[in-house]
Each structure stands twice: as C-alpha cells, then as structure tokens.
Structure 1
Amino acid sequence: MNAIALGLLIPFAGTVAGSALVFFMKRDMPAQLQKTLLGFASGVMVAASVWSLLIPSLDFRPDADGIARVIPAAAGFLAGMAFLLLIDYITPHLHTRTSNPEGPHTRLSRTAMLSLAVTIHNLPEGMAVGVVLAGAASGDAGISSAGALAMSIGIAIQNIPEGAIISMPMRAEGNSRWRSFTIGSLSGAVEPLGGLAVIMLTALLTPVMPYMLSFAAGAMLYVVIEELIPEASEEPHSNLSTIGFAIGFTMMMVLDVVLG
C-alpha cells in the first residue's frame, strides 16, 4: 500500500515543483523554452504509452493468438481516445495558445477555463500511473514494481516543465505568484485521484487490465495529438520542440526498459 501511495504522489510532486518555478521566472516564459518543454512532455507521454501501456496490454494474454491477442489493446485504445474526446467536448476550457474557449458556452473566468484545460490534460497521466501500479500489484500484467516506479518517475519529470507551463500563463493572466502556484499545483491533484480510481476498478475487475492499460494509452495520446504537438509545432522555434520530443522519448524509453 505504501508503494502504491508513493507511486501516485511522485507525479503530483513533479507538478508542484514545476508550478513553484513561477516564483523564480519572469512574468512570461520564453517561447524557446516553452516549445522545448512541450516537445519534451510529448516525447515522454508517447514513449510511456507504447512501452509502459500498449506493449503490456498486448502481452497480457501470451497464450492468445492473432486477433484475440490484439482486441483488448485496440478496443481499449480507441475507447481512451473517445473518452478524452467526449470530455473535451462537454467541458468548457481554454488552451493557453488561443483566446477562443472550447466546449459549451459558459461564464467561467479565463483562469477557471485554463484550469479545466489542464485538468483534462492531467487526468490521462494519473490513469496511466494508476493502471501500471495496479498491474505491478496484481502480478498478472508482466509489469514489475521497478517498471511501475519508472512510469511514476517519468511522468513526474515531465510534470515539472508542465507545472511551469501551467503556472506561468496563470501569472500572465494577472494572478499573483502564490495564486498561480496554487492553481498550478492543484491541477496535478487530479492525477493521484484518477490513478486511485483506476486502481480500485482493476482490483475489482482484474480481466479488464489489458483494456485499462490501452485505454490510458489512448487517453494520453489524445492529449499529445490534440494539444501538445499542435502548440509545440507552431512557428517559430518548432525545431526546439522536436529536440525536446527526442530527449523526452529517449529518457522515458530508457527508464522503462532499464527499470522495467
């Protein structure tokens, strides 16, 4: 139980640490740094989706052949994409790169809608950590405790720049440094909560484990494709996001293979 609690809290600590950078940085984050960090976060999430989630989902039933082996991974992946698409559609939110809100019309403040956008972003990461921890605890998913720890550490590392990317726009909106730090930190609270919910579900329904692994992968890749990559690819400095992606992808791949 202590290992699970630690695994859930490590990514949250990364978000808090990143949000604290608002106390040390200027009002606006340099565009070059933001592009690099967005690329880095994308690389970590893509690598985690493949090595920590999709591959274990495919390997969950080594006795199955052909289509029977791939159905859980394919179905869960598409369900994860559809789930985030639905959340994106029904939740009023605002991305940092635009002034046009998405989702239903609302009278919420810009700060509130920015916070909701970040919450949508962080939910899949919490689910991913939770399902990997559940897989390691069950012993049936081929995921080791070290592999689960690698996942938590990898998400925590990418949460550090993410925390800064969250808190700095809050500061630019006119919020105080402490308010920006608090909002940025609380945005990461959805991760341990989402992870805990997934752990409780998989504990009750062990057969859904391969579906949940690929579901989390689909949800994370939705965020990468819908939000991170478009923002990171905007000119200028898009080449820095590519470099950041390569570094993040390689780091997460190495963590998962070496510790897993």
Structure 2
Amino acid sequence: MDEMVVLLIPLLGTTLGAAMVFFMKDNINAKIEKTLLGFAAGVMIAASVWSLLIPAIDMSKEQGRIAWLPAAVGFMLGILFLLLIDSIVPHLHLDSDKPEGVKSKFSKTTMMMFAVTIHNIPEGMAVGVAYAGAIMGHSKLSLTAAVALSIGIAIQNFPEGAIISMPLKGQGMSKMRAFKCGFLSGVVEPIGAFITILLTSKIIVILPYLLAFAAGAMIYVVIEELIPESQSGEHTNIGTIGAAIGFVLMMVLDVALG
C-alpha cells in the first residue's frame, strides 16, 4: 500500500467525523459523547500495548538489550513530552471555560483546536513509527500491522471529528467553518507520522524507544483528557462500556491483521 495512503487513513476518519456537522441538526447527546470518548480511550490504550509497547519489548530482545529498558525509557519520555506541550501550548478543552498552558490572546475556537491538535500528535507518531518499522523490514512490525493501527486510529478519529465540529456549530459557527476546524485538527497526524518516519529511517537503533515514546504520549492523552471527559458530569458507566468496546476492537484489529 502506498505510504501516503497509510498515513492519511487516520485523517480520513477525522474528516468524515467532522462532516457530521452537515448531517446532524443538534449537538451530540451527552451519553453518546461519553461513549465515543470512552471508545477513543479504549482504542488508544489497546494500540499503545499491542501495536507499540509489545513490539518495542520484542525488538529490544532481538537487539540483545535489556528487554524492558527502551520501552520504559521511551514511555516515560513520551509522557514528559506531552506534559511539556500541555503546559506550554495555550488550549481549551471541550466543556471548559478555563484555558490551560501559557496565557494568550487566542480565540476560544483556536484554543479548542489546539487542544485536539495536542491530542492528535501522538496518534500521528504512532502510525509513523509503526510504518517506519514495517518498511525497514523489521520482523516485529509488518505493513498489515501498520495498516491495522491506521484503521484503528481512523475509527476512533471519526467520533473525535464530530465532537470538535458539532460543539463549534452549536456555538454559532457556520457549518463549513466548523467542518474546516474539525478537519484541520487532524492534519497534524499525517505530518507527525511523516516526520517520525524520516527520523526513524535515519536512526534505526532508536526504533524501540520511539515506539514506546508514542505509546507514552497516547496514554498521557487517555489519562489526562479522554477518561476524565468520559466520566464528567452525572455518573454513568457508558464511557467505561465504550472504552471496553474500543479496546477489544483495536486488539482484534492488531492481532487479526498484524
């Protein structure tokens, strides 16, 4: 499969989700939104384990290293990287009126887009590093596994695209502009994936670290954003159910296609 097609699959999910703004009259129901957020969390957790951490550990064994060391170091660096970005970049989470990051004069819409963009950075890295390992012919990373990861992220990007575009429309933004904002929030993924491929192809030895780095960054997003938002407001287990479904779906995709 062509390299750019693999890298653009996740963006397709975001684009289709953002396009829901043209077909849905009202904002997403709160329970549905929590289900979708939980689903996204489940997909990202499973992808972090099966598509990134386990290959990183197996790869380290093959290279004669301490199996857990690159995975542990890379994972923590990924957490710290997202923590740093989260602390610096001004952004505003959905259903929140308190911006995070450094003080700025950016509009509310811009900061909401920044929040989703931060979320999408590790997903792009994950696809990029998985694909890089596949094209380098590493036994622990096949092209089908990279495609499975892209498809899994695209599936969870679909609701995310809708979750960003629908509230913007509800705040009075035109449908086309809300769609563009949803689409642009996902553009960082193929860009991040391509940069990661270039970096990995130059320094093959760091591949296990980059796999774990992407996993750490994804888990940061899950813990910092997706799980709290899926459990906010009135108590319900719907977000947990969504997470379970997302986890199983991504696990099946990785094992069946990988």
TM-score strictly above 0.5: yes
Tell me, what secondary structure is at the counterpart of 2:25? Answer: coil
| Deviation at residue 61 of structure 1 after TM alignment | 2.6
Counterparts of 2:157 and 2:8, CA distance in 1: 12
- Across the aligned residues of Structure 1 and Structure 2, the Cα RMSD in angstroms comes to 1.3
Q: Give how far 1:237 is off.
A: 5.5
- Aligned counterparts, 1:160-179, within 5 A: 160-179=158-177
**Cα distance in structure 2, aligned partners of 1:63 and 1:14:** 35
- What is the rounded CA distance, in whole Å, between the counterparts of 2:233 and 2:93 in structure 1? 17
2:86 alignment counterpart: 88
Return closer, same or farther for 1:47/1:157 CA change in 2, 3 Å cut-off: same
Q: 2:202: which partner in 1?
A: 204
1:26 match: 25
Provide TM-score, normalisation by structure 2: 0.97
Q: Percent identity?
A: 57
Worse-superposed segment, 200-209 or 227-236 = 227-236
Deviations 1:205-260 (A, max 9, x none): 00010000000000000000000000101232531111110110000000000101
Structure 2: state its 5+ residue gaps: none
Q: Secondary structure at the match of 2:182?
A: helix
Give the whole-Å Cα distance in 1 for the aligned partners of 2:116 and 2:152.
18
* Aligned amino acid, residue 26 of structure 1: K
**Quick one: structure 1 residues 88 and 141, their matched pair in 2 at CA, closer, same or farther if it must change by over 3 Å?**
farther
So what's the TM-score if we normalise by structure 1?
0.96
* Cα pair 1:53 1:214 within 8 Å, conserved: yes
Residue 107 (structure 1) aligns with: 105
2:7–2:193 Cα contact (<8 Å) kept: yes
Counterparts of 1:117 and 1:63, CA distance in 2: 38
Contact (CA 8 Å) 1:31, 1:237: kept in 2 or not? Answer: no
Q: Is the 8 A contact 2:121 2:188 kept in 1?
A: yes
How many pairs align?
258
Aligned-pair distance for 1:125? Answer: 0.4
Quick one: which amino acid aligns to residue 253 of structure 1? M
For 1:75-102, what per-residue CA distance to the aligned partner results, in whole angstroms no more than 9, with x for missing partners? Answer: 0000000000000000000000210000
Unpaired runs of at least 5, structure 1: none
Q: Which residue does the alignment assign to 2:39?
A: 40
Q: 1:117 aligns with which of 90, 110, 115?
A: 115
Shift of 1:170: 1.4
Higher mean displacement: 75-84 or 232-241 = 232-241
How far is 1:173 from its partner?
A: 2.4
